[in-house]
């Protein structure tokens, strides 16, 4: 049984996983997702961005900044794709190459993030991944990209629920 894992003010419950590991510091100098979670037949790479945790005086600017980055593909080029590829490189180097169905989930702690923006970001990332990889050598599966805010994550994956710590 794994203890809950935190990233900033967000706490994930990975108790249903076989293995969970925090990658973001382990994969230096590469960029990597925050968590790697292994379930029975699925691997999860989870990247967390939480602009809602910023202090009130900077909150509005942080929210506008990340929304602008999402719409102009800066977020995709600087965070989403480099962290996916860095995570794969680190996991392969350490003998933990993802197997089975691979989910690459970006959880953005932003209540104002619309379903359309989440879908647009996921579709753009998926098109690139489908074109150039990575494809796991031992699997028939390409990584499946999901983009969530906290509510959509908890709705889609209640077994790995996320809560905000005060």
Question: In the structure encoding, which two tokens stand for residue 7, read together?
Answer: 């990233």
In three-state secondary structure terms, 11 is: strand
In three-state secondary structure terms, 20 is: strand
Q: Residues 21, 35: contact at Cβ < 8 Å?
A: yes
Question: In the structure encoding, which two tokens stand for residue 30, read together?
Answer: 């590469």
Q: What is the pTM of this model?
A: 0.90
Q: Mind listing the pLDDT tens digit for each residue in 62-80?
A: 888 888 888 888 999 999 9
Q: Mind listing the pLDDT tens digit for each residue in 17-48?
A: 899 999 877 888 889 999 999 988 899 999 99
Distance CA 136, CA 150 (A): 28
For 3, other C-beta atoms within 10 Å of its C-beta total 10
């Amino acid at each position: 049984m794994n203890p809950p894992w935190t990233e900033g003010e967000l706490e994930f419950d990975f108790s249903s996983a076989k293995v969970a590991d925090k990658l973001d510091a382990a994969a230096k100098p590469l960029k990597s997702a925050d968590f790697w979670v292994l379930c029975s037949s699925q691997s999860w790479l989870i990247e967390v961005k939480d602009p809602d945790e910023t202090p009130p005086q900077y909150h509005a600017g942080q929210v506008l900044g990340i929304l602008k980055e999402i719409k102009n593909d800066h977020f995709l080029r600087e965070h989403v794709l480099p962290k996916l590829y860095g995570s794969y490189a680190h996991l392969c180097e350490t003998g933990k190459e993802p197997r089975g169905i691979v989910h690459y989930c970006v959880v953005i702690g932003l209540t104002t993030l619309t379903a359309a923006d989440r879908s647009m970001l996921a579709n753009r990332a998926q098109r690139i991944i489908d074109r150039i990889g990575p494809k796991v050598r031992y699997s028939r599966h390409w990584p499946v990209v999901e983009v969530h805010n906290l509510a959509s994550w908890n709705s889609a994956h209640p077994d790995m629920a996320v809560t905000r710590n005060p």
